[in-house]
């Protein structure tokens, strides 16, 4: 008898269920802390928000009920009305008393150093703006605000300089290139091979296509790779 393919299929993770469970645990722990001192209560709030918000920002913001409840908890706790800022990322003081811009600095650093880590902590400015608006709908943000913060982060050398990738597009990096292992991974993969494509890199290294493309583009800018536009293949003269 043939195996039941339907029963053998792996069930996709239910992000909504995971988030609901995380929130439920957090809410129960918060209730228990009502009778404890304020310091302990604040610890419970900070830790609970981190657990809920770090489950997955995209799935979280798709549930208006959870968003409204978490924002309500943040307000009562005297925290910023910004989902995603429960992490430990520390932002340098760049805008002084401009509280809005200063919070925006922290939020962009959270995105760049934590949420974009799977794609090498690099993203085009256009995609960064789209990502911010998609994952943080409670922010009333202007494109110019994000661009201004990025410019100041570069000016203060908090993040590396942007990379021009052609056609008026720029790549924003949140890690110094020398601290990234991505280049070394591609060079190792390319050793002994005539060429590599974006798809081959993504497949062999288990990366998203965006991570493979951004890393190969950087390698071109550093003269480590040469692109054959007719075939879409990258060559590595140095090895």
pTM here is 0.52
For 86-98, b where at least 16 C-beta lie within 10 A, e where not — what string? bbebebeebbeee
pLDDT category at 86 given cuts 50, 70, 90 is very low
Site of tokens 């020398």: 178
Structural domains of the chain ordered from first start? 12-77 (no CATH), 99-175 (1.10.10.10), 181-235 (1.10.10.10)
**Rounded Cα distance, 76 and 67, in Å:** 14
The tens digit of pLDDT for each residue in 99-143 reads 888 888 888 988 888 888 877 788 888 889 999 988 888 788 899
Give one DSSP letter per residue of 121-169, joined into a string: TEEEHHHHHHHHHHH-TT----HHHHHHHHHHHHHTTSSPPPEEEETTE
pLDDT category at 207 given cuts 50, 70, 90 is very high
Average pLDDT, the chain: 75
More confident residue, 142 or 42: 142
| 188 to 50, 197, 198, 215: CA distances (angstroms) | 36, 14, 15, 14
């Amino acid at each position: 008898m043939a195996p039941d393919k339907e029963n053998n299929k792996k069930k996709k993770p239910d992000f909504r269920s995971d988030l609901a469970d995380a929130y439920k645990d957090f809410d129960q722990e918060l209730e228990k802390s009502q009778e404890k001192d304020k310091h302990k209560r604040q610890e419970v709030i900070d830790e609970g928000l981190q657990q809920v918000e770090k489950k997955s920002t995209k799935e979280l913001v798709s549930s208006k009920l959870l968003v409204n409840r978490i924002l309500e908890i943040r307000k009562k706790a005297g925290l910023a009305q910004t989902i995603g800022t429960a992490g430990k990322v520390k932002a340098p003081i760049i805008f002084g008393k401009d509280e809005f811009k200063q919070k925006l600095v922290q939020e962009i650093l959270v995105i760049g150093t934590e949420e974009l880590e799977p794609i090498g902590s690099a993203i085009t400015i256009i995609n960064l703006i789209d990502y911010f608006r998609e994952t943080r709908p409670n922010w009333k943000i202007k494109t110019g605000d994000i661009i201004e913060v990025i410019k100041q982060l570069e000016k203060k050398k908090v993040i590396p300089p942007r990379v021009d990738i052609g056609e008026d597009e720029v790549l924003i990096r949140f890690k110094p290139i020398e601290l990234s292992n991505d280049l070394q991974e591609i060079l190792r993969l390319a050793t002994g091979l005539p060429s590599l494509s974006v798809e081959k890199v993504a497949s062999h290294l288990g990366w998203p296509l965006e991570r493979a493309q951004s890393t190969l583009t950087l390698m071109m800018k550093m003269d480590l790779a040469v692109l054959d536009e007719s075939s879409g293949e990258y060559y590595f003269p140095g090895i």
